[in-house]
Structure 1
Amino acid sequence: MKIVIHAVYASELPRGVGRYCLNLVKYLSNKYENVNFILLIGDWMNGYNFESIIGENVQIVKLKIPKNILLRNIWNLLILPLHIKYRYKPDLIHFTDSSPLLFKSCPTISTIHDVGEFIAPEKYGEFRSWIRRIITRTQVIRSDKIVTVSNTSKDSVVSLKLCESEKISVVYNGVDMEEVSYPEDEVNKYLLCVGPVETAKNIQTAIKAFGQISEKYLDVKLIIVGSRGEGYEEIAQLPKDLGISERVIFKGRVTNEELSSLYRNSILTIFLSEYEGFGYPVIEAMRMSSPVICSNQSCLPEISGGHSFLVNPRNINEIANTLSYVIDNRNNLTERINEARLYSLEYTSDKLAERTFEEYRSIIG
């Protein structure tokens, strides 16, 4: 069996979708050694380091194609299908993210992580959302099977009448976090916020809520982890405007080991995004025994499974009060934290690979 996995992303370093693909390919390679996988990536994606996690049954092809989104999409639209048909001749191709699909040259499965271009178009801007809507509609129609990463995303696809429910399967993301040691003097002195530092992730509201309680907890800081995104300058200015700049720390991107330690050491993790397809930080924090305060919007109530403190992501007073409650009662939440950790263990990359391969089988037999 020969399967092509399309993983050409704009980012040079893995974000949410990139991490999904890293976990998927790693575990597919280990579990199905008799299957030949061909992994297509952009030649600029050096930060993904696929070579270190895969077996001999995975051939990595670094495509020398334009990184520019318009030119890249034209290549995917017109040249890729012929490239697949005549060069690789696979039994199936898996598009791991949104990709223009005018016609297919073999059985096709596509992962639709979310439909933000329909539901939260401000995330991309008007013109880009319009383009993405066209791409998503065409991709869903042309694909033999659609995989979504949550029931919320599936319901959205169906409600938008992009396809029938029977064509969609839900395969949850896998979350891998390793235990790390940490210095005792860094424990429980900060709140943690994880995700790209951009307006769409609602980082600004987390800062405002922290500002409301900052005088009550003078020894507590807010650490924000993630790459710079749309609206970073305004977000970075906000702590200065609120007079708390010395207590809000922007750490940028960190290693997996550093992130694991930051979760483990934190008082709590706050994740206030109003629209997500999955929401990695929620499960990652639970895995590392950090209580989670998260938005009650989109998929987050589903993904957190009743083990987080849900808040209205636009109600700063409610968020601030919930922060205070968790800080004040942190030592009395041990049972709840342990239950959340056990729950988080259901989201494994091994299950992700197994369920995805079942979907491959459902198409090609």
Structure 2
Amino acid sequence: MKILFDGLPITGQSLAIVSEHLLEGWLEHAPEDELHLAVGPNAELTVPDGVIVHQVPFGRSQTISRIHRQNTVLPRLAREIGADALLATLPTTAIVKMPCPKFLIAYDLRHELRPEQFSRMNRIQRRFSYRWEQAAAIGCISDRTRKDLLASRPHLADRPVVLAYLGGDHVDGWPRPHVPGDYALAFGQYGNKNVDLVIDAWGELEKRGNTRPLRIVGLGGSVRPQVEQKIADLGLTDRVTAMHWLPDDEFRKVFAGAGMVVFPSDFEGFGMPAVEAMRMDIPVVITPEPALVEVTAGHAEVMDGWDAPALADAVQRCEAWGPERVVEARAHAADFTWAHTASVMRELMVAELAGAPR
């Protein structure tokens, strides 16, 4: 098959990670396929050898240019290469009719279910640019996302809306220390990661005599001073380190060297850090958030509430894990591979092109 990947929305790290590893998994699963990737000028990703890249220039406004190019360049490109299918790396893709079926990957509906975590413009943009109804089939990265999508749009049940877990095997090549570090790792790049909750929990743990340091990564320039002030106010400056965005190599080293991952997110479509941690033998603490509970499947320490004492309790329970829990978690995470993600999406395309009944 000839498949055109719509990578024009790729700007941030998360979507770039998914795109480049999905392409790798696709080449592993179906090396006979011809893969084409359309990307804009600001896409920062490592494209695997064997993928044909089409650079698409943008104008001054990246959003307007991206929408315009998706509705002019993508159809023309699909005709020129004779594409059998278009795979959108985000549900925002071409509105116009394409010369081939469209397939979407659904990540989450956080902008609808947690609207306060998004700007008004961002919510409007997603509302009008996500093209669910035009998809021949949709792969959802968790059953939580699948249920949310069908609950809000029951008419999509007339087409395949299936489970397509993301992979985690990209961490297999990350540098691993001989001995895990003594620090816990948390993430601060988005509001749903609940940095304040983590810091409050570390304040609670300090009162209980906890000695494990904490590193919080991914703090942007405007957020980091506020986080550092909260850390200072709680007297945790010698225990908690607020870190900025790290280069990829440094981030991988810090992640792989952690002795525990603390991930108290209030909303996830999948929960990539949890899968990555399990695959690298790092114990994970999570909230009772549906997608996190789903993908960890009993192999993470789950908070029994949503406040700082509940998180502190879960961290202490996780401290008591034996090696067998870590081994079981790694075995579970072994099932999450990018080749499997590719196989699910490819099967949807094969069925559609064969005219299989929906």
Question: For 1:303 and 1:169, how far apart are their aligned partners in 2?
Answer: 15
Question: For 1:191 and 1:32, how far apart are their aligned partners in 2?
Answer: 39
Structure 1 residue 214, shift from structure 2 partner? 2.3
Question: For 1:297 and 1:230, how far apart are their aligned partners in 2?
Answer: 27
Partner of 1:128: 122
- Whether the 8 Å contact between 1:145 and 1:168 is mirrored in structure 2 is yes
Partner of 2:175: 180
Partner of 1:354: 343
User: 1:1-58 CA distances to partner (integer Å, 9 max, x unpaired)?
Assistant: 32100112352x522x32111111112124333221110111222x3121xx322xx2
Partner of 1:110: 104
1:300-315 to 2 correspondences below 5 Å: 300-311=292-303, 314-315=306-307
Question: For 1:81 and 1:162, how far apart are their aligned partners in 2?
Answer: 29
Alpha-carbon spacing, 1:180–1:127, altered in 2? closer, same or farther (3 Å): closer
The amino acid of 1:115's aligned partner reads L
- 2:238 is paired with a residue whose SS is helix
- Whether the 8 Å contact between 1:28 and 1:354 is mirrored in structure 2 is yes
Structure 2: segments with no counterpart, 5+ residues: none
Question: For 2:164 and 2:222, how far apart are their aligned partners in 1?
Answer: 29
Question: For 2:203 and 2:39, how far apart are their aligned partners in 1?
Answer: 42
Partner of 1:74: 67
- Whether the 8 Å contact between 2:219 and 2:242 is mirrored in structure 1 is no
Question: For 1:8 and 1:310, how far apart are their aligned partners in 2?
Answer: 37
Structure 1 residue 337, shift from structure 2 partner? 1.3
Partner of 2:9: 9
1:88 to 52, 57, 81: 81
Question: For 1:233 and 1:200, how far apart are their aligned partners in 2?
Answer: 19
Alpha-carbon spacing, 1:40–1:348, altered in 2? closer, same or farther (3 Å): same
Instruction: Give TM-score, length-normalised by structure 1.
Output: 0.87
Instruction: Give TM-score, length-normalised by structure 2.
Output: 0.88
Question: For 1:122 and 1:72, how far apart are their aligned partners in 2?
Answer: 27
Alpha-carbon spacing, 1:237–1:201, altered in 2? closer, same or farther (3 Å): same
Structure 1 residue 114, shift from structure 2 partner? 0.8
Alpha-carbon spacing, 1:85–1:340, altered in 2? closer, same or farther (3 Å): closer
Q: CA RMSD in A?
A: 2.5
User: 1:311-358 CA distances to partner (integer Å, 9 max, x unpaired)?
Assistant: 25631111112222323x24xx21111111100101011212222221
- 2:189 is paired with a residue whose SS is coil
Structure 1 residue 264, shift from structure 2 partner? 4.6
The amino acid of 2:303's aligned partner reads V
Identity %, equivalent residues: 20
Partner of 1:48: 45
Alpha-carbon spacing, 1:69–1:44, altered in 2? closer, same or farther (3 Å): closer
